[in-house]
C-alpha cells in the first residue's frame, strides 16, 4: 500500500496531509526518514510519525444511535461519558466521523479509516445529513426561507439547506422541523435555527447519506456492510 494511503487509512491524516508530513521529514520507515511519496509499505515495515508508531488495522465502519449526554470523542479530560463507553466490545481503535453535540442524539459514524472520514466530513463532497429539531416558536415559510438561501453565521458562509415542517404546536409554542445540510460546522444546525429566530430545544440526526437509524435502538450500534460503505463513498464521490 502506498505510504500516503497507509497513513490515511491509519487515521493519521488525509492523503494530501500525509504527503505534507512525509515531505516535512516527520515520517520514518524502519527508523529511516521517508521522503519517497511512492513508497509501498510492506508487511513488517515499522512506520512512525513524529516518533510514534502507526498501525494500520483492517478498516471497520460502525453506525451508532447516540443518546443525549455523551461526548462524541474517544476520551474526555473532564471525565464525562463518551460514545466509546457505549461500544466496549469493539477492539479496533475507532473514532467518531465528525461529531454530535453532548445534548444532540442520533446517527453517528465511527471508523478507523482516515480517508473515509475526510471524504464524509469535507463540505466539497456534499454528503447529506438530515436532522429533526424541536424549536421554540412557530416555524413557517417566512422565517425558514433564509435557511434555503444560504446564510452567514459568525462570519462563515453556510450552504443552502432544505427543510420540512413536520408539526406545529401553537398552544405549546414550538415546532418540529427537519433540516438537510451537507456541511458540519460547529453547532451549525443550532446556529441556523437561532438565526431564524427559532432556538433549538431538542435535536437529533436521523440520516447520514443513505444511512438511517431504522431498527437500531438508542444507545446501540452495528457494523456497516460493504454495500453500505460503498453507497456512502459513491455518494461522496458523486458530488
Q: Could you give phi then psi for residue 74, rounded to 5 degrees?
A: -75, -35
Q: Could you give phi then psi for residue 80, rounded to 5 degrees?
A: -80, 160
**Which residue in this structure is represented by grid cell 441556523?**
192
Q: Which of 25, 6, 10, 121 is nearest to 72 (CA)?
A: 121
In the set 101, 103, 128, 214, the catalytic residue is 101
CB contact at 8 A, 120 and 228: no
**Active-site residue 101, yes or no?**
yes
- Residue partners of 155: CB distance under 8 A and separation at least 6: none
For the annotated catalytic residues, the residue numbers are 101
Amino acid at each position: 500500500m502506498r505510504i500516503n494511503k497507509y497513513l490515511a487509512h491509519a487515521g493519521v491524516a488525509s492523503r494530501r496531509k500525509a504527503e505534507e508530513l512525509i515531505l516535512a521529514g516527520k515520517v520514518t520507515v524502519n527508523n529511516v526518514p521517508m521522503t519517497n511519496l511512492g513508497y509501498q509499505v510492506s508487511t513488517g515495515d515499522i512506520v512512525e510519525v513524529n516518533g510514534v508508531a502507526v498501525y494500520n488495522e483492517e478498516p471497520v465502519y460502525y453506525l451508532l444511535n447516540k443518546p443525549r449526554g455523551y461526548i462524541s470523542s474517544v476520551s474526555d479530560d473532564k471525565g464525562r461519558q463518551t460514545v466509546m463507553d457505549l461500544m466496549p466490545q469493539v477492539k479496533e481503535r475507532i473514532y467518531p466521523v465528525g461529531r454530535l453535540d453532548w445534548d444532540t442524539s442520533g446517527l453517528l459514524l465511527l471508523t478507523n479509516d482516515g480517508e473515509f472520514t475526510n471524504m464524509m466530513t469535507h463540505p466539497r463532497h456534499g454528503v447529506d445529513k438530515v436532522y429533526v429539531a424541536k424549536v421554540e416558536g412557530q416555524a413557517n415559510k417566512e422565517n425558514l426561507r433564509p435557511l434555503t438561501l444560504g446564510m452567514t453565521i459568525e462570519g462563515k458562509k453556510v450552504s443552502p439547506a432544505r427543510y420540512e415542517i413536520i408539526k406545529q404546536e401553537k398552544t405549546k409554542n414550538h415546532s418540529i422541523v427537519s433540516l438537510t445540510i451537507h456541511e458540519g460546522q460547529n453547532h451549525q444546525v443550532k446556529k441556523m435555527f437561532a438565526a431564524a429566530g427559532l432556538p433549538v430545544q431538542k435535536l437529533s440526526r436521523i440520516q447520514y447519506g443513505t444511512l438511517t437509524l431504522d431498527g437500531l435502538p438508542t444507545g446501540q450500534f452495528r457494523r456497516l456492510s460493504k454495500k453500505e460503505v460503498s453507497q456512502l463513498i459513491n455518494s461522496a464521490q458523486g458530488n
